[in-house]
Amino acid sequence: MMKIAILGAMPEEITPLLEILKVYEKHDYANNSYYTANYKNHELILAYSKIGKVNSTLSACVMIEKFKAEALLFTGVAGAFNPSLKIGDLLCATKLCQYDLDITAFGHPLGFVPGNEIFIKTDERLNSLALEVAKELGIKLHTGIIATGDEFICDEAKKEKIRSIFKADACEMEGASVALVCEALKVPCFILRAMSDEAGEKAEFDFDEFVVNSAKISANFVLKMCEKL
């Protein structure tokens, strides 16, 4: 029996899970809704944070400090940077960074502020469990680096810049902030993303077409992981 948080950013990333769970309680708190449910001997706490690093920081804190989550699984979509990642493919982040955290004016590297590291690691145990689950399901799970920032990337030049500086495989807008909260509060963190677009020109059209399906691929996977925890 564990209290497991499942966090997404957008309704599309969490409502598929609420539909599967069917029975859940809704708790309104801090300008958002949190949902509790039982699943396979575990207590789940689910939420979509709303978009961006600040909203996801708030939700991760609430899930841990108020709802006492003992592990946090993030599920959602991302823009692919690595050409080996195709739309619908799953990526588990081994580490994440904030590509828009910028005090380079003072000679610091992009993504760095004093007292923190550029990269925030996720939980190795959860990541290896995910690889086992993928093997069992017969699906490919990619592992790699995610760059997080408060911008929807749909520009080839921006994409290449972030990709080359951080060797990032994908971009999104919440992962690094959630991982930072989990690391600070010593809660194991897992960040999963299914590709919805390739973050280049016209990414917003791919996103609109593929967000629902890719979000479900990711959501189904984290629920499978709960069965193994």
- CB-based contacts of 217, cutoff 8 Å, min separation 6: 88, 90, 194
Describe the crossing of helices 175-184 and 53-61 by its angle, rounded to 10 degrees: 30
Residue closer to ligand 3QA, measured from CB, 89 or 174: 174
Q: Which of 13, 123, 169, 172 is catalytic?
A: 13
Q: Is 197 a catalytic residue?
A: yes
203 touches ligand 3QA (CB under 6 A): yes
7 touches ligand 3QA (CB under 6 A): no
194 touches ligand 3QA (CB under 6 A): no
Sign of CA dihedral 77, 82, 85, 89: negative
- In the region spanning residues 8 to 37, those forming contacts with ligand 3QA, defined by CB under 6 A, are 9-10
173 touches ligand 3QA (CB under 6 A): yes
Residue closer to ligand 3QA, measured from CB, 51 or 110: 51
- In the region spanning residues 141 to 170, those forming contacts with ligand 3QA, defined by CB under 6 A, are 152-154
47 to 86: interface string for ligand 3QA, x by CB under 6 A? ----x------------------------xxxx-------
Cβ–Cβ < 8 Å for 146, 169: yes
Tell me the one-letter amino acid at 60: A
- CB-based contacts of 1, cutoff 8 Å, min separation 6: 41, 42, 43
- In the region spanning residues 78 to 137, those forming contacts with ligand 3QA, defined by CB under 6 A, are 78-79
Instruction: List the structure tokens of 99.
Output: 């590509």
Question: Of 157, 153, 192, 163, nearest to 175 (Cα)?
Answer: 192
Residue closer to ligand 3QA, measured from CB, 85 or 133: 85
Sign of CA dihedral 130, 187, 33, 25: positive
- CB-based contacts of 58, cutoff 8 Å, min separation 6: 30, 32, 49
Q: Which of 172, 197, 198, 206 is catalytic?
A: 197
Cβ–Cβ < 8 Å for 97, 149: no
179 touches ligand 3QA (CB under 6 A): no
Instruction: List the structure tokens of 205.
Output: 């059209």
Residue closer to ligand 3QA, measured from CB, 8 or 188: 8
User: Which residues of this chain interact with ligand 3QA, rule CB under 6 A?
Assistant: 9-10, 51, 76-79, 152-154, 171-174, 196-197, 199, 203, 207
Residues with catalytic roles = 13, 197
